[in-house]
Amino acid sequence: MQEKTRSVREQLTESIEIKKEVLDRLSSKIAELARVLANCLKKGNKIFLCGNGGSAADAQHLAAELVVRLRPNHREFPLPAIALSTDTSVLTACANDFGFENIFSRQIQALGKEGDCLIVISTSGNSENIVLAAKQARKLGLKVIGFLGEDGGKLARVVDYPFFVPSKNVPRIQEVHITVGHIVLELVEDLITK
């Protein structure tokens, strides 16, 4: 049986409709996330990010935008951000010795300080390594922002500032995560360069 394929138009329309819903319902939430991160950075703290798979790539992408800069000629100074999925030696040693579920929480325990922020990115909200990282961060006094899918899964109850994408479609959720991530970081740059 041949699987029905969705047209390009259908997929793009769905993406646009979800983003319109975010615009209509969640703009103030996006501004709130930017304020939380800007306040963290203004106080001399740092931002950690983590996710699995495509969300790990988004975490790395956003960390790079903070350390380098998002917009040319807008900011000359770096901002402290670390994507917890980038150190293969730490990841593999921790997974081997303590289990894959602890690869991010162990790093937060080692590097996180009260006042820092952790951004967790998860479409399901149920990845045990992300849930444990959020719990460890809160235990240490970090503020936890969650870029999540529709109901947020287990993470909905663990993060301080949840951002729920109104969709169950993983690709559409990921598209909104990176779009919102870029918007949040543009607002952060504006807030810290005033």
Model pTM score: 0.95
User: Stretch 94-108: mean pLDDT, rounded?
Assistant: 98
Strands, sheet with 47-51, edge to edge from the N-terminal-most edge strand: 81-83, 47-51, 117-122, 143-148, 161-164
Residues 50-79: tens digit of each pLDDT: 999 999 999 999 999 999 998 887 788 999
In a domain, 130, yes or no: yes
Q: Is residue 3 part of a domain?
A: no
Q: SS3 for 132?
A: helix
Residue 6 is predicted with a pLDDT of: 77
* Number of domains forming the structure of the chain: 1
CA proximity to 119, closest of 145, 149, 157, 138: 145
What average pLDDT does the segment 89-117 reach?
98
Report yes or no on 1 lying in a domain: no
How far apart are the C-alpha atoms of 147 and 61, rounded to whole Å?
A: 14
Domain containing residue 153: 13-192
CATH of the domain at 95: 3.40.50.10490
CA distance 123 to 152: 8
